[in-house]
């Protein structure tokens, strides 16, 4: 079996930074370390941190007064920060800088009196955090159909931003609907969908024509991983999202000559390697790496972590 290994794949700069932040807080403070929501949406990453003394919480009130809290890569709302300060928590912010960029756009549009359309999945952690910046001014839309049903107070004062991990195809469809219905709508000069999401989706689109099946390593609650499966299916190929090699079903590959392997931006490379080993051992897989773009993005540790290191 021919196995095409997509590159780039797996961890992006924001995920690398967030995971490194939790590692360093563990080193500096020792267990227990509290993280607001999953640091990234990957079951293996979360379980590994739990085994090392990290407690993931869904409410600031779960953290002992005076404790340390790490904010996940998906960003958080001002209300969460206020609640943390009320409990005298030491805050370490591992929010992805590209998510913070969207937050800043929302704040700018809100200051200028705009109603803001947030294109994204309304229950996703990133959406909840972003909407929290200006909840009285933001309307979330998930589809072009929802655009048609929109009621806004002033069509001349309208702007949109997007979630960073959307399907490019779906996002373009919603944005086209917004621009058609509201021709004067404002938007950021640069797309909000992050470079890693774009690169991984583009790789699937370009390489899917050469294979019969696409295997995506990632967790079910990972938006960017699920969008890779969507891309495979848009290309007319079978696509499967698996947490690890143990979830691979042999019948998916029965009679198949070629498979594409990729991984969402929150999936560790060791999970990809385990999958490749299974494909080699059980299916005679011959792996060929295809590099479509080299990624050299790096994010420095947040100032809040550097401050913690000085105190420690």
- Chain segment 14-23, per-residue pLDDT in tens: 999 999 999 9
Contact residues for 261 (Cβ-Cβ < 8 A; gap 6+): 3, 4, 5, 6, 9, 215, 217, 272, 275, 276, 279
Q: Are 229 and 277 members of one domain?
A: yes
Task: Give the pLDDT confidence score for residue 308 in this predicted structure.
Answer: 84
Share of the chain above pLDDT 70, in %: 99
Which residues, in sequence order, are bridge partners of residue 115? 158
CATH number at residue 26: 3.40.50.11270
Query: Quick check: 312 pLDDT over 70?
Result: no
Q: Are 15 and 299 in contact (CB under 8 A)?
A: no
- Please tell me the least confidently modeled range out of 149-158, 275-284, 303-312: 303-312
Q: What is the mean pLDDT of residues 286-300?
A: 96
Whether 105 and 22 share a structural domain: no
pTM score of the predicted model: 0.93
| 126 assigned to active site | yes
Return the CATH number at 254: 3.40.1010.20
For the segment 53-81, what is each residue's pLDDT rounded down to a tens digit?
999 999 999 999 999 999 999 999 999 99
Whether residues 305 and 279 share a domain: the answer is no
Do 63 and 109 belong to one domain? no
Range in 26-30, 127-131, 248-252, 282-286 the model is least confident about: 26-30
Close Cβ partners of 146 (under 8 Å, ≥ 6 residues apart)? none
Read off the DSSP letter of residue 300: P
**Residue numbers of the domain that contains 231:** 2-11+195-291
Same structural domain, 204 and 276: yes
Q: Average pLDDT in the 35-45 region? A: 97
Does residue 92 sit in the same domain as residue 102? no
Total domains present in the chain: 3
Q: Tell me, yes or no, whether 189 lies in a domain.
A: no
Last residue of a domain, one of 181, 214, 229: 181
* Helix, strand, coil % over all residues of the chain, rounded to 5: 45, 20, 35
Of 126, 148, 234, 247, the active-site residue reads 126
**Could you give the maximum distance between any two Cα atoms of the chain, in Å?**
61
Cα(119)–Cα(170) distance, integer angstroms:
10
């Amino acid at each position: 079996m021919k196995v095409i290994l997509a590159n780039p794949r797996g961890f992006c700069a924001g995920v690398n930074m967030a995971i490194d932040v939790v590692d360093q807080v563990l080193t500096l403070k020792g267990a227990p370390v509290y993280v607001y929501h999953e640091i990234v949406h990957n079951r293996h990453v979360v379980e590994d941190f739990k085994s090392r003394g990290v407690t993931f919480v869904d409410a600031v009130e779960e953290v002992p007064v005076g404790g340390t809290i790490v904010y996940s890569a998906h960003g958080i709302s001002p209300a969460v920060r206020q609640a943390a300060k009320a409990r005298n928590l030491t805050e370490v912010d591992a929010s992805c800088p590209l998510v913070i960029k969207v937050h800043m756009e929302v704040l700018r549009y809100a200051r200028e009196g705009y109603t803001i359309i947030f294109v994204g999945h309304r229950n996703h952690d990133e959406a909840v955090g972003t909407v929290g910046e200006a909840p009285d001014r933001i309307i979330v839309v998930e589809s072009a159909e929802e655009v048609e049903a929109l009621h806004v107070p002033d069509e001349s004062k309208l702007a949109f931003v997007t979630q960073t991990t959307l399907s490019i195809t779906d996002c373009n469809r919603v944005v086209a609907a917004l621009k058609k219905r509201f021709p004067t709508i404002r938007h950021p000069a640069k797309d909000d969908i992050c470079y890693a999401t774009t690169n991984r989706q583009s790789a699937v689109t370009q390489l899917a024509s050469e294979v019969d099946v696409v295997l995506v390593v990632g967790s079910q609650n990972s938006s960017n991983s699920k969008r890779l499966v969507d891309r495979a299916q848009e290309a007319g190929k079978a696509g499967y999202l698996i947490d690890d090699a143990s979830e691979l079903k042999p019948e998916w590959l029965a009679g198949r000559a070629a498979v594409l392997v990729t991984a969402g931006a929150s999936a560790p490379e060791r999970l990809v390697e385990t999958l490749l080993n299974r494909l080699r051992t059980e299916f005679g897989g011959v792996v060929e790496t295809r590099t479509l773009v080299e990624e050299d993005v790096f994010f420095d540790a947040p100032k809040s972590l550097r401050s913690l290191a000085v105190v420690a």
